[in-house]
Structure 1
């Protein structure tokens, strides 16, 4: 998302391709050395693109959310682009457990992507998710050709696919990059994810009348999430959560949302509202200045909670999200709207 909607977070800015200089970054992913690591490495990504390189990539650069997912599966990127560092120097939630002190910055915001810095890292592979067909998230369109001259890339499709399938794809990629899929932290995270899913399913069955709406806001508009286009929301719906969703998204947004003017922000009613928690989105206290928002039942009842819209696609990431969601829904009244 640029100033919010996911589909607009695709491309801006450009940089001239310069020659490769001294390498930088951190150590390669912790994987045991073996003859297999020296064999031809191939991967077919979600663009249908076949990547084939002489040996398994060791120096991986990834978009923040992709880096976070790979990190949870045991891969240690050498460079990151997209939101990963807050103004106070701390890690952005989008980068998950990644130790940002050990990775190089290629760009920290939409429109920032330093092609020259990418080249100096001498990367073996670049990984990014894709919300728009064949467009690597946070890789500017104007820089895409230059990037491809520097490093082969892998795109992971993040829309129109089930949540579990996306998580599993990152796990498979991590294993192909040398991580151990049976490592204790990975197994523990999977068990935690399964337990969180089961708990949320139980809650949904116990509170079938609890209506939940997911939104993000800009000064001009309120965006209401269209369930089929968001893998996390779709998954919660499959678990039985009563999601308030538009019948269809706004065509100009290419899916994902129905866009409402603030005058029409009361089109949908819900007991609970999950509000986009990312730094670039309006905060609930900012939206409170909008009269229609302030009058919504969930807002008046104080039942507005965070939605982690750019959570990394890993078992650990979504286990934490669902645990927090259950805690918030447990304490919520389910009789505010009919």
Structure 2
């Protein structure tokens, strides 16, 4: 990862985190038991959260609880990179229903969180390299440090879902957790139909062989080109036929390119982070403006959306719509 730039910061606010080395979607037994008796769930760090009943009061990271809300589970408290009203994943939601105990990364009002009496706290874990390795010496995403994480864990068990591999796996894992906390199979299956339809639309849109790159650009730093293999959403797009050239370099997730050298990376489409320079600002950079995608007006938003059927269907549909109106220019 380049300098202090974090994945979530530019995708809508991401970062690296957390615990244990596990395989693509986590390791070991991950069954959840529920009903009138005990409930348990083994997360992607290998830790098992155990309660005497199914959790109903769930707090957690904005990115994660957005998915639960999309499935009908309203969280009791939130923390994250931004306030909920500034997070696109909560557009149209009455965020007054949620107690926001953290509106800046790593700043969590522990007393306010405890006052909401959560049964469970949901967050994400990010790998430290392309192998998908999680590092137990690093805090889970959303926490300033391990001490803060331990303090929060004393309030309620923490469940972490890993943001690695393909988005298809992460979305399925999120649905698995949603089912464990009581979301009906009928609800999940209904939303999955829309998700599958959006994926088919994107597969058709990539049939013309369009190439793309996703970037986060800053005036003083140049352009950070994301590596599709390291980003779950981008990886899932390539599985549907989107051609995504490897930007090179040995660094995890990003290849940093100077403004002078951005012309070496020519694609039909450029996707720009919503947390970095805007499309308009990019086009004001002379070297970027000479890229084929820029000259053709094929510069579109790169959206970070929650890893659930609802949010992903919406984002994939928007991407497909942009690709449908694009053409080969390289």
In which range does the TM-score fall when normalised by the shorter chain? 0.7 to 0.9
Q: CA deviation at 1:189?
A: 1.9
CA contact (8 A) 1:276 1:307 kept: yes
* Structure 2 segments unaligned to the other structure (5+ residues): 18-33, 128-133
CA contact (8 A) 2:78 2:100 kept: yes
Aligned to 2:192: 190
C-alpha distance in 2 between matches for 1:63 and 1:288: 34
> What are the Cα deviations for residues 16-43 of structure 1, in whole angstroms up to 9, with x where unaligned?
xxxxxxxxxxxxxxxxxxxx54411111
C-alpha distance in 2 between matches for 1:166 and 1:11: 16
Aligned to 1:324: 318
> What are the Cα deviations for residues 194-244 of structure 1, in whole angstroms up to 9, with x where unaligned?
111112112222x12x21111112231311111111111111111111112
Q: CA deviation at 1:83?
A: 4.3
C-alpha distance in 2 between matches for 1:3 and 1:107: 21
Q: CA deviation at 1:263?
A: 2.4
CA contact (8 A) 1:78 1:102 kept: yes
- Structure 1 residues 104 and 7: CA distance shift in structure 2, 3 A: closer
Structure 1 residue 270 corresponds to structure 2 residue 267? yes
C-alpha distance in 2 between matches for 1:216 and 1:10: 14
CA contact (8 A) 1:211 1:244 kept: yes
CA contact (8 A) 1:72 1:97 kept: no
C-alpha distance in 2 between matches for 1:71 and 1:212: 31
> What are the Cα deviations for residues 250-269 of structure 1, in whole angstroms up to 9, with x where unaligned?
2xxxx111111222222210
- Mapping of 1:211-250 within 5 angstroms? 211-219=211-219, 220-250=221-251
RMSD over aligned Cα atoms? 2.4
Structure 1 residue 120 corresponds to structure 2 residue 134? no
Instruction: Pick one of 39, 42, 51 that aligns with 2:40.
Output: 42
Give the secondary-structure state (helix, strand or coil) at the position aligned to 1:75. coil
Instruction: Pick one of 129, 137, 140 that aligns with 1:136.
Output: 140
TM-score w.r.t. length of structure 1: 0.81
> What are the Cα deviations for residues 156-196 of structure 1, in whole angstroms up to 9, with x where unaligned?
0002x22121111111111111221212xx33321111111
CA contact (8 A) 2:171 2:308 kept: yes
Structure 1 residue 181 corresponds to structure 2 residue 176? no
CA contact (8 A) 1:222 1:260 kept: yes
- Mapping of 1:158-177 within 5 angstroms? 158-159=163-164, 161-177=165-181
Aligned to 1:307: 302
C-alpha distance in 1 between matches for 2:92 and 2:306: 10
- Mapping of 1:7-156 within 5 angstroms? 9-10=14-15, 37-83=35-81, 85=83, 90-95=85-90, 98-132=93-127, 133=134, 134=136, 135-141=139-145, 142-156=147-161
* Structure 1 segments unaligned to the other structure (5+ residues): 13-35
- Structure 1 residues 66 and 96: CA distance shift in structure 2, 3 A: farther
> What are the Cα deviations for residues 96-141 of structure 1, in whole angstroms up to 9, with x where unaligned?
6643121010112223322222121111111011124254221211
Give the secondary-structure state (helix, strand or coil) at the position aligned to 2:100. strand
Which 10-residue stretch deviates more, 233-242 or 132-141? Answer: 132-141
C-alpha distance in 2 between matches for 1:92 and 1:117: 21
